[in-house]
Amino acid sequence: METQFGRMPETDSIKMIADKIELKLIEQIARKSGAAIMEIYKTEFSVEMKENKSPLTEADKISNKIILEELNLLYPSIPFISEETKAIEYNERINWNYCWLIDPIDGTKEFIKKNGEFTVNIALVENGKPTIGVVFAPALNKMWSAKIGEGSFKIYDDGERVKLFRGVDYKSLAKVRVIGSRSHMNFETETFIEQLKKEGKEIDFVSAGSSLKFCLLAQGSADVYPRYAPTMEWDTAAGHAVLEIAGGAVNEAGTMKPLLYNKENLLNPYFLASW
């Protein structure tokens, strides 16, 4: 098989390519996708509904097309899972050691509301764990990215890359900044917050849309993100990588086992993201 790295044995190709993935190239893809999204964002775009009753816009489709074309050009032997692409059966996916997890627009509802809190999510998953993650918020012109072995970064408008480091365990704090979406303030989330209050902690609730919650947590703008509402793997993998590679953790609620990817069911269990 011929790739940008030359001809290599089929059995070794995925691992050899994945080891050589350049984080900045994935960032460039996210920015290219974001630029196309913003062209549509400025217009009076139409909205259609998918079979699962979630909204879909032309921006979702164009973003998906750009990301897949660019990834396939650079890393053709790495398969992908994308929200906007036909689902691949688990009996095929079970043999994947690596795959991309892509959400062309995470927070389509926020995109439709034009509040800016939507992101482009691109992640590489290795044996169930996210090892590369890029989150780009094109309307805010903010980016976070991470690669295992290199670190987790916030990237500023001028290109400056600030490395993100492990924060403080929220359990040790007197005042805890809980981040979440007000639209998902359900009984379980309220119970989590009430338990913290019973422990004598002062609570400050921080609201944010899409995978921005992971990124704000990773950069130290929040302390814990309890998610007791449905998410799909493509919603979380990139932000998960940004937080975990910075030193945080994303664990299943209850069992506190690490959240894993490319599962038979791509619906995530409820989880807790924290330092």
Domains (range + CATH), the chain: 2-164 (3.30.540.10), 170-274 (3.40.190.80)
Query: pTM (2 decimals)?
Result: 0.91
Model confidence pLDDT, tens digit, residues 169-188: 999 999 999 999 866 678 99
3-state secondary structure the chain: CEECCEECCHHHHHHHHHHCCCHHHHHHHHHHHHHHHHHHHCCCCCEEECCCCCEEEHHHHHHHHHHHHHHHHHCCCCCEEECCCCCCCHHHHCCCCEEEEEEEEECHHHHHHCCCCCEEEEEEEECCEEEEEEEEECCCCEEEEEECCCEEEEECCCCCEEEECCCCCHHHCCEEEEEECHHHCCHHHHHHHHHHHHCCCEEEEEECCCCHHHHHHHCCCCCEEEECCCCEHHHHHHHHHHHHHHCCEEEECCCCCECCCCCCCCECCCEEEEC
Give me the chain's average pLDDT, please. Answer: 90
Model confidence pLDDT, tens digit, residues 27-77: 999 999 999 999 999 988 888 887 776 778 899 999 999 999 999 999 998
Model confidence pLDDT, tens digit, residues 73-132: 999 989 999 999 988 999 999 999 989 999 999 998 888 889 999 999 999 999 999 999
